[in-house]
Structures are given as structure tokens and as C-alpha cells.
A and B are shown apart, each in its own frame.
Chain A
Amino acid sequence: MSEAERPGVAQLVRSAMGGSRDAWDQLVERFTPLMIATAHRYRLSDHDAADVAQTVWLHLIEHLGELREPAALPGWLASTTRHECSRLLGRRARQRPYDPLIPFEGDQVTPDIAGDVAEDLERFDRQEAMLAGFAELSDSDRRLLVLLVADPPLTYLEISERLQIPIGSIGPTRGRALKRLRATAPVSRLVESDK
């Protein structure tokens, strides 16, 4: 698919609102990783992270018709996911018996871990921005980048075989994919703030 006809997120949202299952499938595939990373940031278990993602998608289906600005979907998903995570955490906290003799329970930050927390926050923001930018890329860009960061690393020969593209084109294609990732709003904000 050429650059021009590659549907952007806003177009996918409009198609999904019109009932397109294909567009919906793509939205779910693109944005679920961001939800999972957010849930992990809230230190939710894998089970709870799955619940959060499912609940947010179900909410979106209910409210899809009310969405006024299709381009605002990524922001809506991010804030709804955070809201669901803290709601789940709140319920967890209530279900834990309270012991007044334990001074630092729950979310309270003791001085010795405050430094770690600041470092974590910076890293989480970075992860969120990368995943949000990544979600805006085309299927082919995302497939290539996923293979390039695979652990253990893949050789260019393996990547070329998996994607059915010549080895010689991997370098230039990687360059263009990274450029497009760099150009997405979330990633360009991140890079600018690094300067």
C-alpha cells in the first residue's frame, strides 16, 4: 500500500464508526500494546492487565458513536486506560486488610526509593510515547521494526526471509520506518524534550 492510501488512525476510527470490522481489528492490534504497558506501569498483574485492556475496548465500542474527533482516539484510549488501572488498584487496596502498625503501606513513597521512582517515571513516559508513535505506523513498518528489536537478535538474512524482501533493502527501509516513527507526534515531542 502506498504512503498516500495507507489509512491513518483517524481514518481507521471513522471506518470503525461506520461498522468496518477490518478497521476495528487494526485499531485493537495497534493500541493494545500501549494499554498493556500502561497496566504494567501501574504494577497490575498480567490477569488484571488483560481485564483493563478488554474493559477499555468494550467501553470504546459503547461510546464509538459519540466520539466527535476521530483523531483524538489515542488520547482517549490512554486516559481511559489510566482511569481503569487506578480504579482496579483502588478496589485492590480496599480489599487488603489494613494494619496500622505498618507505617508505609500501599503507594506511599519512602525516601530511599524516591530516586528510583523518578527514574522509572521518565522511562515509562518514554515507553508510552514510543508505543503511541509505533501504533500510528503501517503494518509493514511495524513488522520490520519488531524484527529489528527481536531478542535474541535476528540476522538480516532471517529478517529478509521473514518479510520476503531483499537484504539490501532492509537498511534503507529501516531508515524510512524510523523516520516515520520519529515524525509521529508523540515521538517528536519526546525527541524535542530530550534536546
Chain B
Amino acid sequence: MDPMTPEEERLLSDLRDALLAAQHPQAELIIANAQDAFSYATLEDELAHLVYDSALENDLVGTVRAADTSRMVIFECQALTMELEIRGRDIVGQIGPPGPATVIVETSDGAMAEVHADDLGCFTARVSEPTGPLRFRVSRPGSSAITEWTYGQRPS
């Protein structure tokens, strides 16, 4: 068999080390999930950006709160704002300007739960997998928006 040059040997051994570092027991699942996520993407909704996250706020102040049990996040786009309190599996939200809306909570595996906001724009939702990425699609007559992905509450 053709012998390798020292440089080829080095390249292969570096590659071996690199591929070992990239091993993951669920690599195939991670890849499949990310590939599937492309199909759920719709480019028509207005994207609501994260403008406040209590978890990040704590970072800036540098305080340590071991008993952090809930997290506030606010998303904003031209059509609406959305304030969320995420407490474990439970999510309490309010959409502004107030008024009824349909809210679809999406998790990264493509599962969706539909809930309805009341006349004040308030809604509650419950997610099955509280730690993974989540996003919210809000539709009401005349406008629809989708939030950036955010994490659910993390277990400590």
C-alpha cells in the first residue's frame, strides 16, 4: 500500500483527534432535528426580537440568585410586544397592544401547542419539555409575528 508522507500522517492524526472531540452520543439526532427545523421556518412572519431577559440582566449586575425560579423575557417588533414569565413548565404572557390573539408555542422538535389570549392580551401555556428552545407565533387579524428562539427555564 502507498506509504504516507509525514505531513499526510500528521494531517490524518490531527483529523482523528478532531473527530474524536466532535463525537456526541446523539449526533445523528442533533443533525436530524436541525435539518427538520428548516421546514418549520416561514419567512412571512415579522420577527420579534428579544429586548429584555431577566437572566441576562442578572449577568450584568453580577448578582447570584441561587433560588431563581422564574424568568422574564420581552420580545418586540413593529406590530406588537410580548412579555413572558417562564416558570418551569408554565408560561404566563401578555401581548401588547391588548386584544385577543392566537398564540402557538413551538418547541424545537416541531411540537406546537395553541392557546388563546383574552381581551387584555393575556394567556397561559404549558410546555412539555421546559428546558429546550421555545418560540412563540402570535397571530391576530391584520398581523402576525414570530419571536426569536429562547430557552425555557433551566433546571439548576
| Contact A46 B26, CB 8 Å, known A59-B149, A94-B65, A94-B68 | yes
Q: Are B18 and A90 in contact (CB under 8 A)?
A: no
Task: State in angstroms the CA–CA spacing of A191 and B11 once bound together.
Answer: 9
Check: A12 CB closer than 8 A to any chain B CB. Answer: no
| Contact A32 B31, CB 8 Å, known A24-B38, A61-B37 | yes
Interface residues on A, range: 35 or more
Check: B140 CB closer than 8 A to any chain A CB. Answer: no
Check: A131 CB closer than 8 A to any chain B CB. Answer: yes
Check: B128 CB closer than 8 A to any chain A CB. Answer: no
* Inter-chain contacts of A9 with B (CB < 8 A): none
For A21, give the chain B residue with the smallest CB separation.
Answer: B38
Total contacts A-B at CB 8 Å: 146
For B15, give the chain A residue with the smallest CB separation.
Answer: A130
Min CB distance A31 to B, Å, is 9
* Inter-chain contacts of B100 with A (CB < 8 A): none
Residues 110-130 of chain A, each 1 if its beta carbon lies under 8 Å from chain B, else 0: 000000000000011011101
* Inter-chain contacts of B66 with A (CB < 8 A): 95-98
* Inter-chain contacts of A165 with B (CB < 8 A): none
* Inter-chain contacts of A33 with B (CB < 8 A): 19, 22, 27
* Interface window among B39-47, B89-97, B118-126: B39-47
* Inter-chain contacts of A34 with B (CB < 8 A): 22
Min CB distance B1 to A, Å, is 6
* Inter-chain contacts of B22 with A (CB < 8 A): 33-34, 36-37, 40, 127, 131
CB proximity to A under 8 Å, residues B96-145: 108, 131-133, 135
Q: Are B12 and A178 in contact (CB under 8 A)?
A: yes
Min CB distance A12 to B, Å, is 13
Q: Are B15 and A32 in contact (CB under 8 A)?
A: no
Q: Name the one of B15, B31, B64 contacting A145, with C-beta atoms under 8 angstroms.
A: B15
Q: Are A175 and B41 in contact (CB under 8 A)?
A: no
* Inter-chain contacts of B26 with A (CB < 8 A): 46, 50
Of the A-B pairs whose beta carbons lie under 8 Å apart in the complex, a sample of 17, sorted by A's number, is A21-B35, A24-B35, A25-B38, A33-B27, A51-B132, A54-B37, A54-B132, A55-B151, A62-B41, A126-B14, A127-B21, A130-B14, A145-B12, A174-B2, A175-B2, A178-B8, A182-B11
